[in-house]
Amino acid sequence: MMAPKRRRLYLVGGGMTSLGLAVCLVIFAFQDNLVFFYSPSELAKQPLAAEQRIRVGGLVQEGSVVSEGDGLTTRFRITDLSESIAVTYTGILPSLFREGQGVIVQGYLQSPESFVADEVLAKHDENYMPPEVAEALKQSGQWKESRD
C-alpha cells in the first residue's frame, strides 16, 4: 500500500505528463493551421483555393512599391528571397511599411501569382536600438537582417 502523499504525487505527475503529451501531439498535428501566415515559396509549392482567406508573410521587395493614381492603392511584391508574389492593397499602410520591411498581408489569392490584400500588418523584428546605433551599424556594414 502506497502512502497517500506518494500516490497523489504520482497521480498529479502522471496526469500532467499525459496531458502535456496530448497537447504536444495536438500542436504537432495542427502545426500547419497554427502557422499565422504562408510564405511565397509555400504558395508556389501548394496553391490554395482562391476563396480561402489567407495571410502571406515576407519582405517587401526592394523597388517593387508602386502607388496608384488614386493615392490609396498600392502595389508591391512580397518575397522570401526565393519566391515572390504580387500584392494589391487599397487602404492606409502601417507606418513601418517600407521596402525591405517584413509584412504580413491578409486577403485572397486572385491567381497563383497575384494577391489582393484587405489588411497589411508590419512585422517587427526583435532588435531594439537607438537610431544612431542603427545608423552606425549600417555604415560599418555589420547590419544583419534577422527576419524570418
Report the C-alpha gap between 12 and 63 in whole angstroms: 58
Q: Which stretch binds another protein (CB under 8 A): 44-52, 64-72, 77-85, 131-139?
A: 131-139
Among 114, 115, 125, 108, which residue's Cα sits nearest to residue 52?
Answer: 108
Task: Rule CB under 8 A: say whether 139 interacts with another protein.
Answer: no
x/- binding map, residues 7-46, to another protein, per CB under 8 A?
-xx--x--xx--xx--x---xx--x--xxxx---------
Pick between residue 69 and residue 95 the one whose CB is nearest to another protein.
95
Please report, for residues 17, 47, 118, 139, the alpha-carbon distance to residue 5 in angstroms, rounded to integers and kept in the order given.
18, 56, 58, 64
Query: Which residue carries 500584392 as its cell?
Result: 87
Q: Which of 29, 110, 133, 145 binds another protein (CB under 8 A)?
A: 133
SS3 67: strand
Say whether residue 57 binds another protein (CB under 8 A).
yes
Map the footprint of another protein across residues 82-111, applying CB under 8 A. 93-97, 104
